[in-house]
Amino acid sequence: MTVREQTDFIVNIYRKRAPGYDFRSYFYYLIGYRLQAYRMKAVKELQLKAGDTVVEIGCGTGLNLSILQNAVGSQGKIVGVDATDAMLNRAKNKVKKNDWQNVELVLDDAVEYQFPKAVNGIISTFALALMPNPERIIINGINSLAQGGRWVVMDLRIPSNWISNLVPLFLPILKPFGVTKELIDQRPWEIIWNTFQRNLHNVSLKEIYSFGITYIASGGAN
């Protein structure tokens, strides 16, 4: 699958999932998957202060916006980037409903997105692993970070243990979310972590769900 084909594949999937995306996320709590708590942990890793500017890559329907608002305050700025118009429209509704004047939403492919200069934090939750060329996205972001700025990724991975043997069983369940065998074979979680290690300082990798299938990677710029 080419870069363009992979992007189109993900966009088409999430156009279909957009109407019920927020509602379906609550079902994860039934298996002990505390999504909101994990999102708060990821944002905490950014170490944001009031007045800071933060970019979210793959902001989707805006599930992180209220957490980011609490972190940067009304005097800060939040830029949400997503390639799927239907998901971004849901985020726009949240912005309008809450009258958030400091949120900018951008419809763009993350691989091509031009980051603003001197941002204090960049975050992506459950999105970057689905995107083609995550290494390029991370490096582009690093080049835009202010001194002391931080990059944080929360995503899924297949641990190197017995769980990897169950992948064929779970693929039919994961495919509606854009996860394919081709994507798994690329091991995007390793690409993301290796890129962090090579290009950021004080990197950290934290496992936050059973058997390490969910992680938070973080690191800071010079």
> pLDDT tens, 128-173?
999 989 999 999 999 999 999 999 999 988 766 655 555 555 555 5
Continuous H helices in the chain: 3-17, 21-25, 35-45, 65-72, 85-98, 134-142, 167-174, 181-186, 188-199
Beta strands at 214-220 and 145-156: parallel, antiparallel or unpaired: antiparallel
Q: How many CA atoms lie within 13 A of 189 on its CB side?
A: 21
Q: Quote the tokens at residue 215.
A: 């992680």
| Rounded distance between C-alpha atoms, residue 213 and residue 200, angstroms | 23
Does the domain made of 3-220 have the CATH classification 3.40.50.300?
no
Q: What is the model's pLDDT at position 30?
A: 46
pLDDT at residue 212, rounded to an integer:
67
Beta bridge partners of 116: none
Q: Which amino acid is at 99?
A: D
Residue at 110: amino acid letter = A
CB atoms within 10 A of CB 151: 30
CB-based contact 14:86 (threshold 8 Å): yes
pLDDT of residue 24: 63
Structure token pair of residue 99: 């009258």
Exposure class string for 3-37: b at 16+ Cβ within 10 A, else e? eeebbebbbebbeebbeebeeebeeeeeeebebee
- 152 vs 19: which has the higher pLDDT: 152
